[in-house]
C-alpha cells in the first residue's frame, strides 16, 4: 500500500471533511453521505487516487446509512487491517493503492458473499462512465 504522499499533499487536494475521513480514519454521519441512497450504474473510485474499488452491481441497501457493497471491484484493490478503536473489534478497509480509509467490512451481508463493505461516501467518487483506465492523480 503506497502512502508516499504526506498530509500536506492531501490537505491541498481534499476538503477538510474528505481529509478527516480519508486520511485520518474519520466517519461521516449515517444517512448523510451523497452515495448512501445512490444506485446509479457505474464504478466507485477512491476519492484520493482514482483507483476503481467497487462496482454498482455489488451495491445494496443495507439500512445502515452508508453505501454498502458485497464485493470489491477486483481482488486486491481493498486492503484490510484490524481496528480496535472505540472499544470494538472491527476490520477497517482501505484503498490498497494509496491507503485512503474507506470504512469497515462486516461478515453480515445478505448476499452470497456474506460480506458488507460499509463505505464512507466521502472516501469514494461515483463514475458513471465505467472507464477503468482514468486515474485521478
Q: What is the CATH number of the domain that holds 86?
A: 2.170.150.20
| Residue 132 in domain | no
On the 0-12 / 13-18 / 19+ scale of CB atoms within 10 A, 133 is: exposed
Annotated binding residue 100: no
Kindly tell me the number of DSSP H helices and DSSP E strands found in the chain: 2, 9
pLDDT in tens, 65-123: 999 999 999 999 999 999 888 788 899 999 999 999 999 999 999 999 999 999 999 99
Q: How far is CA 95 from CA 7, 86, 111, 128, 129, in A?
A: 16, 22, 23, 20, 21
What dihedral do alpha carbons 31, 90, 53, 38 form, nearest 10°?
-10
Specify the DSSP class assigned to residue 56.
G
Annotated binding residue 22: no
On the 0-12 / 13-18 / 19+ scale of CB atoms within 10 A, 41 is: exposed
| Residue 113 in domain | yes
Looking at the annotation, which residues are catalytic? Answer: 118
Annotated binding residue 64: no
| Residue 136 in domain | no
Supply the range of the domain harboring residue 112.
7-127
> What percent of the chain has pLDDT above 70?
92
Residue 11 sits at φ, ψ, to 5 deg, of -60, -30
| Residue 107 in domain | yes
| Residue 135 in domain | no
- Give how many domains the chain has, as a whole number: 1
Whether residue 132 is predicted with pLDDT greater than 70 in this model: the reply is no
| Residue 137 in domain | no
Q: What is the mean pLDDT of the chain?
A: 91
| Residue 56 in domain | yes
Residues 127, 44 contacting (CB under 8 angstroms)? yes
Amino acid at each position: 500500500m503506497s502512502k508516499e504522499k504526506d498530509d500536506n499533499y492531501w490537505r491541498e487536494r481534499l476538503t477538510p471533511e474528505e481529509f478527516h475521513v480519508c486520511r485520518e480514519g474519520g466517519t461521516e454521519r449515517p444517512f448523510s453521505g451523497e452515495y448512501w441512497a445512490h444506485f446509479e450504474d457505474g464504478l466507485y473510485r477512491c476519492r484520493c487516487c482514482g483507483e476503481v474499488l467497487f462496482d454498482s452491481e455489488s451495491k445494496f441497501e443495507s439500512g445502515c446509512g452508508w453505501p454498502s457493497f458485497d464485493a470489491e471491484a477486483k481482488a486486491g484493490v481493498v486492503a484490510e487491517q484490524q481496528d480496535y478503536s472505540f472499544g470494538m473489534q472491527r476490520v477497517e478497509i482501505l484503498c490498497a493503492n494509496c491507503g485512503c480509509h474507506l470504512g469497515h467490512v462486516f461478515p453480515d451481508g445478505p448476499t452470497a458473499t456474506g460480506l458488507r463493505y460499509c463505505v464512507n461516501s466521502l472516501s469514494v467518487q461515483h463514475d458513471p462512465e465505467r472507464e477503468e483506465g482514468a486515474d485521478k492523480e
